[in-house]
């Protein structure tokens, strides 16, 4: 049984078409065939092995595309010289959503129009079997009539108009995870980030670009930013956040307070619930986040600088 499209020649496909829709209908539709062509096709039909149902459907779909494209052409419909122009305006998620439900041949036609980076992103979302079929089609698009290509573009363009806009997609990724971690206690933050680092180091690195901790504020922020952050926080909250810290960290924070606040500062001597200390640290981190929203710094600049070696 023949199951692979690329093994079929042009006359093989027409022979299959004859068997599917009948010779009389095929001859009426394929008006360019002469008697000699028809005899050759009949002979080839008798010689061919059995063709799989899926392959018959594929050939019939291809023929339909060609017929419909010719019909549009005959009706005088004008097409853009670049029928796939619309596809370059789609975000990656939109392109994936548009193509992953299509047949491999249609996906291959569309992927041939985009850059390799987008091709990989779409292929990564397909099943191994579909991916293999798409790659096979990508290597044999010359077999599809130009009119068929144009018609595929027209149909995809119509479908693309019903896709959500790019901003409607929930993109997830490192930033989303960092936002979730930011709502946890420091202990939970550390535990989950450590787990992610072991399971998916690349995701962990992406999270760190957006994930701000109390340790980052103390260790990575320059004095001018640390001063602005601490000046926006109540002294009692600062004292709680510094509970249990080494003297070097305490001195660094106090030295960045106004002299009046320095004089008023009193460390927390008695034991306090850990949740109170955690809440105080969160308050300082939130103050830093607010400054980031106001454009006073970018987290990438702050955390990125800590990776530099002098």
pLDDT mean over 153-178:
72
In the CATH scheme, what is the code of domain 172-211? Answer: 1.20.5
Query: How many residues can be counted in the chain?
Result: 310
pLDDT tens-digit map of 94-118:
899 899 889 998 999 999 899 888 8
71 or 222, which is more confident: 222
Residues 6+ apart with CB under 8 A from 19: 45, 51, 56
pLDDT band at residue 69 using 50, 70 and 90 as cut-offs: low
Same fold, 172-211 and 212-310: no
Tokens of 151: 């018609």
User: Which among 143, 172, 183 is positioned nearest to 7, based on CA atoms?
Assistant: 143
Is 70 exceeded by the pLDDT of residue 87? yes
How would you classify residue 131: left for phi > 0, otherwise alpha for psi between -120 and 50, otherwise beta? Answer: alpha
97 or 146, which is more confident: 97
Count other Cβ atoms within 10 Å, centred on residue 121: 15
Partners of 2 in the beta sheet?
Answer: 51
pLDDT at 77: 47
Is 60 exceeded by the pLDDT of residue 120? yes
User: Which among 154, 167, 149, 152 is positioned nearest to 90, based on CA atoms?
Assistant: 167
Is 90 exceeded by the pLDDT of residue 174? no
Where are the domains positioned within the chain?
A: 5-74, 85-164, 172-211, 212-310
Cα three-residue angle 179-181-186, rounded to 5 degrees: 135
What's phi and psi for 272, nearest 5 deg? -135, 155
pLDDT mean over 113-140:
86
Domain spanning 212-310, CATH class: mainly alpha
pLDDT mean over 277-296:
89
pLDDT at 169: 46
pLDDT at 148: 76
Tokens of 178: 């960092």
pLDDT at 80: 46
pLDDT at 305: 47
Pair 87, 154: CB distance under 8 Å: no
Report DSSP letters for 57-71, one per residue: HHHHHHHHHHHHHHH
pLDDT tens-digit map of 201-259:
888 888 877 888 888 899 889 999 999 999 999 999 999 999 999 999 999 999 999 88
Is 60 exceeded by the pLDDT of residue 121? yes
Q: Look at the block and give the residue holding tokens 């394929």.
A: 30
pLDDT tens-digit map of 6-56:
677 778 888 887 887 777 777 776 767 788 888 888 888 888 878 788 777
3-state DSSP assignment of residue 2: strand
Count other Cβ atoms within 10 Å, centred on residue 145: 16
Report DSSP letters for 228-262, one per residue: HHHHTS-HHHHHHHTTT--HHHHHHHHHTS-HHHH
pLDDT mean over 175-197:
79
Q: How many angstroms separate the CA atoms of 69 and 80, rounded?
A: 14
How would you classify residue 53: left for phi > 0, otherwise alpha for psi between -120 and 50, otherwise beta? Answer: alpha
pLDDT band at residue 178 using 50, 70 and 90 as cut-offs: confident
In the CATH scheme, what is the code of domain 85-164? Answer: 1.10.220.30
């Amino acid at each position: 049984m023949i199951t692979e499209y690329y093994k079929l020649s042009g006359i093989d496909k027409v022979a299959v078409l004859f068997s599917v829709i009948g010779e009389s209908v095929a001859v009426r539709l394929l008006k360019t065939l002469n008697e000699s062509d028809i005899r050759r096709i009949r002979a080839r039909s008798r010689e061919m092995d059995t063709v799989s149902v899926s392959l018959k459907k594929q050939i019939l779909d291809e023929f339909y595309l060609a017929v419909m494209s010719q019909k549009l052409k005959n009706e005088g419909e004008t097409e853009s010289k670049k029928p796939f122009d619309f596809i370059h305006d789609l975000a990656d998620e939109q392109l994936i959503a548009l193509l992953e439900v299509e047949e491999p041949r249609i996906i291959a036609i569309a992927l041939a129009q985009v850059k390799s980076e987008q091709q990989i992103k779409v292929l990564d979302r397909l099943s191994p079997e579909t991916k293999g079929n798409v790659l096979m089609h990508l290597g044999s698009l010359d077999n599809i009539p130009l009119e068929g290509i144009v018609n595929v573009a027209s149909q995809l363009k119509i479908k693309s108009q019903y896709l959500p806009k790019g901003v409607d997609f929930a993109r997830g990724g490192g930033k989303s995870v960092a936002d979730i971690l930011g709502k946890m206690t420091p202990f939970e933050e550390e535990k989950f980030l450590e787990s992610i680092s072991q399971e998916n180091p690349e995701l962990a690195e992406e999270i760190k670009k957006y994930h701000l901790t109390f340790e980052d504020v103390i260790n990575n922020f320059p004095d001018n930013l640390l001063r602005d952050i601490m000046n926006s926080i109540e002294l009692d909250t600062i004292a709680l956040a510094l509970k249990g810290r080494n003297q070097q960290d305490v001195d660094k924070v106090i030295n960045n307070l106004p002299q009046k606040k320095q004089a008023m500062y009193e460390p927390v001597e008695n034991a306090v619930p850990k949740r109170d200390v955690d809440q105080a640290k969160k308050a300082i981190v939130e103050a830093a986040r607010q400054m980031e929203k106001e454009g006073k710094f970018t987290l990438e600049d702050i955390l990125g600088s800590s990776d530099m070696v002098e």
